[in-house]
Chains A and B, each alone.
Chain A
C-alpha cells in the first residue's frame, strides 16, 4: 500500500460546486501539506498542518479550506469551485525536520 493515499484520483466538477479532496498517510508524520501543480508554475503550497490543532496558510490559500481530522488525515475543500482551480493536487507528508517529503499520487481536478 502507498504511504500517502489521495482520493479521488480524478474528478470533474461544475463551477460553484463544493468538492473535497482527501489524503491519508501511514508514515506516522505530523506534518502534512497540500500543493497544486500547474504547467509552468511548479508546485505551489496551499495549506500545511503540523498537528490537528495547527493549520497554516500557504502561498495560495484563497478559495480553499482544509481540515485535519486526525494525524493521518488531511482534507482539502473547494467551497465553490471555479475553472481556474483546475489543476493537479498533491498531498505530502514529512517528518518534523522536513528531511524528505512523501507525496501522494495526485488528484487531477477539472472544474467546468
Chain B
C-alpha cells in the first residue's frame, strides 16, 4: 500500500523568502502525485499534479514541484512566498494503475509573516 511522509510539520517564513516543502512517498510502482492547499477555514484545492512526462510541474500561484523518482520525492517549491500563501499544504499519492484511493500526508502548516 502507498503512504506519504511530510517531514516539515510547521514552517514559518517572512514574505519574499523561498519555500521548499518535502514530500516522500512509499510505493513500489508507478504513482500519480498531487499537492493540495487548504487556506484557513476553506476546503482543499488542487495546487498541482504529476502523472507523467516532465518531472518539473508548475501549478497555480507560482508554485512548482519536482518529481525525483530515485528519491521517491515530490517536493513543493516557491521562489518568493507571500502572506496570502499562509495555509496548510498536503501531498497526496495514488497508484497509477489503481487510482482507487487518494492517500494524503499529514500536512505542513505554513505561516508567512509580512
Could you tell me how many residues of chain B have their Cβ less than 8 Å away from some Cβ of chain A? Answer: 23
The chain A residue with its CB closest to the CB of B103 is A45
Q: Of residues 73 to 90 in B, which have CB atoms within 8 Å of A's CB atoms?
A: 90
CB-based contact A98/B94 at 8 Å:
yes
CB-based contact A48/B90 at 8 Å:
no
CB-based contact A42/B101 at 8 Å:
no
CB-based contact B102/A42 at 8 Å:
no
CB-based contact B100/A42 at 8 Å:
no
CB-based contact B100/A56 at 8 Å:
yes
CB-based contact A42/B46 at 8 Å:
no
CB-based contact A40/B101 at 8 Å:
no
**Do A41 and B43 contact each other (CB < 8 Å), given the known contacts A56-B100, A99-B49, A100-B49?**
no
Q: A35, A41, A90, A103: which has the most chain B beta carbons within 10 Å?
A: A103
**Do A103 and B44 contact each other (CB < 8 Å), given the known contacts A43-B90, A98-B32?**
yes
**Do A105 and B42 contact each other (CB < 8 Å), given the known contacts A42-B90, A56-B100, A98-B94?**
yes
The chain A residue with its CB closest to the CB of B10 is A40
CA distance A99 to B33 in the complex (A): 10
Q: Of residues 90 to 112 in A, which have CB atoms within 8 Å of B's CB atoms?
A: 90, 92, 94, 96-101, 103-106
CA distance A35 to B103 in the complex (A): 10
With beta carbons under 8 angstroms apart, the residue of B44, B45, B94, B101 that contacts A58 is: B101
CB-based contact B43/A105 at 8 Å:
yes
Q: Of residues 1 to 40 in A, which have CB atoms within 8 Å of B's CB atoms?
A: 4, 33, 35, 40
Interface string of B25-66 (1 = CB under 8 A from A): 000000010101000001111100101000000000000000
User: Please, could you name 23 A-B residue pairs with CB atoms under 8 Å apart, sorted by A?
Assistant: A4-B43, A33-B102, A42-B90, A42-B107, A43-B104, A45-B102, A48-B100, A50-B100, A56-B100, A90-B44, A92-B102, A94-B102, A96-B99, A97-B99, A99-B32, A99-B51, A100-B34, A100-B46, A100-B49, A101-B34, A101-B102, A104-B43, A105-B43
Residues of B within 8 A of A43 (CB): 44, 90, 104, 107
CB-based contact A45/B101 at 8 Å:
yes
